[in-house]
Amino acid sequence: MSLLKRLQITNLRNLDNVSVALSPNINIFYGQNGSGKTSLLEAVALLGLGRSFRSHKIRTIIEHTQSDLTVFGELLNSNDRGTIGIQRARSGKNVIRVNGDNVQSAISLAQELPLQIINADAFLLLEGSSSQRKRFLDWMVFHVKPEFASAWKRLQRVIKQRNSALKHDKISYSDIALWDQEFIATSNTINQLRKNVLNDFKNSFYSNENKFSDLGFDVDISYKAGWNEEEDFGDILKSSFEKDIRSGYTNYGPHRADLKFKVGTQLASDILSRGQEKSLICSLHIAQAYLFSEATGKQCVFLIDDLLAELDIDNAKKLTKALISLKSQVFVTGIYKDNLLSVWDSSNSEDIEEVNINLFHVEHGDVQQKYC
């Protein structure tokens, strides 16, 4: 079990100096527009991803007049203790610490604090480019299949080498055939891992265990490998060599994989309303969390910005019921306290009795705990 006991934020946007003691279950942050609610979730995301979910430019996230920001978290994990921290400076300096030791990569953060994020950008899973859906799939494969991380690194390296070879003058296919042996082997490994995990994911998505599977419309999920799997991948690479040279990059491979979400014969994004899209997205994240917890015995931490935006009460209650049954730690935000509290009641889930809710009012970057 990985969750946050305490969170301390310094100089992140309007959060100058915030320290909050968290519930292992539900944490509700309410307040007016611009008070700092999304920034608070952004702070937790920095701890779990090593980067923001809102901006790639760190200077926009650091409080205007300051040179650096820090987010520090006390964890409740299997050893019952642990800390993670991140410091980002305008100078570009970036320090990540896990249990007091500096670490080089944000991967250790993802392992300490696995996150499910549902915010305004979550719609990109249906509406955005294939890279969003590939990232959604690979998040699971990364957490569920330990051998995926090294295969994925090999793939990035071999594609880079292959693409740079493609840009040389007067090359013939035999010049890159050597790369292709490794490219084909790694592609097959990655493709197989993705397919296995997607199968498990679909079981989790359609299962009755998933308290959010009843959406009121049927969703079909299909996978595209990044090449025509009915043909030999080696033959495809050979026959697309001229095309690859013209474009200066590799046109087929696992880097071009995608997922398709369809309702009937149409893409979900072409037919669903925003609210229906949001409920589908929530149920996909819930299914991902079920799969993660079955495979690893650990729980994801959920960050849900503006919980009630675009969700009707029925769907919001399905979501909270699923979150309670998952026993996840949850951070939710919204404007009005009463609306946010009303979706966590005993008529909705009997397990609510065991759930501890911490309520916080956010005002001008100041976060105060309130009693419900």
* Residue span binding ligand ADP (CB under 6 A) among the ranges 29-37, 213-221, 229-237, 250-258: 29-37
Q: Is 38 in the site for Mg ion (CB under 5 A)?
A: yes
Q: Which of ligand ADP, Mg ion, none interacts with 210 (beta carbon under 5 to 8 A by kind)?
A: none
DSSP strand pairing (366-370 vs 329-334): unpaired
Helix (H, G, I), strand (E, B) or coil at 263: strand
The residue (of 38 and 187) whose beta carbon lies closer to ligand ADP is 38
Q: Which of ligand ADP, Mg ion, none interacts with 39 (beta carbon under 5 to 8 A by kind)?
A: ligand ADP
Q: What residues contact residue 87 under an 8 Å CB cut-off, 6+ apart?
A: 68, 69, 70, 93, 94, 95
* Residue span binding ligand ADP (CB under 6 A) among the ranges 32-40, 157-165, 189-197, 212-220: 32-40
Q: Is 189 in the site for ligand ADP (CB under 6 A)?
A: no
Whole-number Å distance between alpha carbons of 306 and 37: 9
In the list 24, 63, 281, 289, the residue contacting ligand ADP (rule: CB under 6 A) is 63
How far is Cα of residue 125 from the mean position of the Cα atoms in its chain? Answer: 10
* Residue span binding Mg ion (CB under 5 A) among the ranges 35-43, 159-167, 238-246, 264-272: 35-43
Are 11 and 70 in contact by the 8 Å Cβ rule? The answer is yes
In the list 10, 23, 27, 38, the residue contacting ligand ADP (rule: CB under 6 A) is 38
Whole-number Å distance between alpha carbons of 246 and 259: 27
DSSP 105-150: -THHHHHHS-EEEESGGGGHHHHS-HHHHHHHHHHHHHHH-TTHHH
Are 253 and 187 in contact by the 8 Å Cβ rule? The answer is yes
Q: In whole angstroms, how close is the CB of 38 to ligand ADP at the nearest point?
A: 3
In the list 17, 21, 34, 107, the residue contacting ligand ADP (rule: CB under 6 A) is 34
Residues that bind ligand ADP (CB under 6 A): 13-14, 31, 33-39, 60, 62-64
Residues that bind Mg ion (CB under 5 A): 38
